[in-house]
Structure 1
Amino acid sequence: MSASLLRVAARGPSSAVFRASLAAARPQPMTARAALAAPSLSNTFSTSSRMRSEHQEETFEEFSARYEKEFDNVQDVFELQRNLNNAFAYDLVPSPSVLSAALRAARRVNDFPTAVRIFEGIKAKVENNGQYQQYLEELKPLREELGIPLKEDMYPEETK
C-alpha cells in the first residue's frame, strides 16, 4: 500500500486543469499582458514617462525654511536621520539655522550620536577648514547649551 502511494506522489497530478493553470502562470510578453488588461484600465495608464520635472527650482532661503520646519516636526530618530540624509544630499551646506533645528531635534528625540554626527557631516560638506571653523563658532552657544562635544574633542588622536 505505501509503495502505491509513493508512486502516485512521485508522478504528481496529471489533470489537464493543473497543466492549464501552469501555462497561465508562465510569464507572458508585455503585448500579451496588455491585451488581457481590462479596456477601462488600459486607457488610464501611460506607458511612457514624462520628461519634464514638476518641481520648480528652490532658493536657498526656501530650502532652509523647509528643512527648519521638517526638523521642528521631528518625532523620532528615524525622521531625524531621514531629514538629515535628505538635507545633506544636496550640493550645498545647510545653513546654521537648519543645523540648529536639527541639533534641537536630536536633543528632543534624545539621540546623542546623531547630534555628534551632524558636525561630522558639516566637516565633510564644507570646502575647507576655515568654513568648518565658521560653522563651529556660529553653533558654539547651542553646542554648549545642549552639551554636544565634537568628535575631535572626544578622540583627539584620530584627527589629523
Structure 2
Amino acid sequence: MNDLCGMDLVPEPKIVIAALKACRRLNDIALAIRFIEAVREKCGSKQKEIYPYILQEIRPTLDELGINTPEELGYDKPELALPNVYDVHG
C-alpha cells in the first residue's frame, strides 16, 4: 500500500477494492480508512470529479465489509480547527 501511495497515479476502483479486502482480512479498519483518505488526496485538483466516481464504484464493497468513508465518520472536517485570525475582527 505504501508503494501504491507513493506512485503518481490514482488507483483504479478494482485496486482500491482489493486493498480494502486485504485490510479486512487483517482486521485493520484504520488502515482501510487511511487508504481511502490517501486515494482522495491522490485525486488532486480533480477531486470533485474522480473521488465521487471511485466512491460510487467501491460502495458495494464498503457496505459488504462494513467500512465507512472518512466523510461518513466526520474525518474530513478538522476537530480542533481554530478560526482564521484575519476573520476574527472582520
Deviation at 1:142, TM superposition (A): 0.2
**Pick from 23, 26, 29: which aligns with 1:109?**
26
Count the aligned residue pairs: 76
Q: How does 1:82-93 map to 2 (within 5 A)?
A: 84-93=1-10
- Pick 1 or 2: higher relative contact order, CA cutoff 8 A, min separation 6: 2
Q: How does 1:1-160 map to 2 (within 5 A)?
A: 84-126=1-43, 127-155=46-74, 158=77
Matched with 1:10 is none
Structure 1 residues without counterparts, runs of 5 or longer: 1-83
Structure 2 residues without counterparts, runs of 5 or longer: 79-90
Deviation at 1:86, TM superposition (A): 0.2
Q: How far apart are the structure 1 equivalents of 2:28 and 2:71?
A: 19
Report the structure number with the largest CA radius of gyration.
1
**Identical positions, percent:** 36
Deviation at 1:157, TM superposition (A): 7.5
TM-score (norm 1): 0.45
TM-score (norm 2): 0.77
User: RMSD over aligned Cα, in angstroms?
Assistant: 1.6
